[in-house]
Amino acid sequence: MKFRTTAIVNAIGSSSVDLNALITRSWKKHRELGVRGYCSPLLDCDYSMKTCLPVNRQSPNIINSSLSNHQGIVPFGILQHGGIAYHRKRLAAVQRRCALRVACAYRTVSHEAVMVVAGAIPIHLLAKERKEVYQKKGQPGTRSTKKEESREETLGRWQEEWDAAQKWQWTKRLIPRLGPWLGRSLGEVDFFLTQLLTGHGAFRAYLHKMGRARSPMCLHCSDARDDACHTFFVCERWAGWRHAVEDELGGLQPETLDQKMIESDRNWKRVASFARAVLSEKRMELASQGPAAHEGTSSSEE
């Protein structure tokens, strides 16, 4: 299966990658951003966390994906070498922070959902995969074949966990099958697209749940819940923009949106621009409604 060629996937998905070279390149990038301290895969996890995590505080979430990917390299590299048996929870926390940056996601997005949106394989599955590849040493077959087999098994396990999850239903509804989503060769998520995919963003239902809006109701049609589904697929307020997209791509449904997006670069960009236009307008509208709604849309970008 062909995987996205983003730096983050390469960094975590290939044992043949020169990790030190990756980290050195990434460090140079971080130094340009004014980050101090050196992160080595040989350092212990606690020190790595102390030095790496502030890196991600240097920039807001609204940054381009290529920079996000660079930001993900150092901590993911450390995850491969930082003592998984002793620090599993803390490693998962580091990985989650990296994925939040890659996806430009709100901090309230769950670990499981953001890993899928960012396309980053959870560390516990990666650890198991590496162990299996190691155990296959001496068996017939080339190393690359064994790695491909192990990766397929890893994806199968991840899909099982994703299917069994009772939460994150909206993201599951949009991305039910992980294989095509992870294996796509185009498209990067951004701040607005991630809001569509997670439901965490400029939606009154979400803001109300966070204590940032007085009501979850839609401001335009008085629907009981202004969430991502209502905004992008139902609400008449955004029907004009929705129909413009549908004229180009065909009918929009949550269950088929991911397939439509990964069909072509044009489709992906069209959906991304739809999300950006709608949510930019919504943010302005929410801001005009008063400090409660506005507070929620601004503070969560950090």
- From residue 190 to residue 219, the character string flagging contacts with Zn ion as x (rule: CB under 5 A) and all else as - is ----------------------------x-
- From residue 223 to residue 252, the character string flagging contacts with Zn ion as x (rule: CB under 5 A) and all else as - is x-----------x-----------------
Q: Which is nearer to Zn ion, 35 or 235 (CB)?
A: 235
Q: Which is nearer to Zn ion, 192 or 203 (CB)?
A: 203
Q: Which is nearer to Zn ion, 3 or 233 (CB)?
A: 233
Q: Nearest-CA neighbor of 273 among 191, 173, 182?
A: 191
Q: Which is nearer to Zn ion, 190 or 223 (CB)?
A: 223
Shortest Cβ 223–Zn ion spacing (Å): 5
In the DSSP assignment, the letter for residue 290 is -
Q: Would you count residue 220 as binding Zn ion (CB under 5 A)? A: yes
Residues sharing a CB contact under 8 Å with residue 9, sequence separation 6 or more, in sequence order: 3, 119, 120, 182
Total of chain residues touching Zn ion, rule CB under 5 A: 5
Shortest Cβ 70–Zn ion spacing (Å): 39
Q: Which of residues 137-156 bind Zn ion (CB under 5 A)?
A: none
Q: Which is nearer to Zn ion, 33 or 221 (CB)?
A: 221
Shortest Cβ 41–Zn ion spacing (Å): 49
Q: Which is nearer to Zn ion, 47 or 241 (CB)?
A: 241
- Cβ distance 89 to 147 under 8 Å? no
Q: What does the block give as tokens for 198?
A: 């997670």
Shortest Cβ 74–Zn ion spacing (Å): 42
d(C-alpha 211, C-alpha 234), whole Å: 24
Shortest Cβ 278–Zn ion spacing (Å): 11
Residues sharing a CB contact under 8 Å with residue 111, sequence separation 6 or more, in sequence order: 92, 96, 99, 122
Instruction: Report residue 74: phi and psi, to 5°.
Output: -60, -55
- Give CA separation, 96 vs 8, 35, 42, 76, 225, in Å: 13, 20, 21, 10, 28
**Dihedral (C-alpha) 212, 214, 215, 221: value to the nearest 10 degrees?**
-100
Q: Could you list the residues that contact Zn ion (CB under 5 A)?
A: 218, 220-221, 223, 235
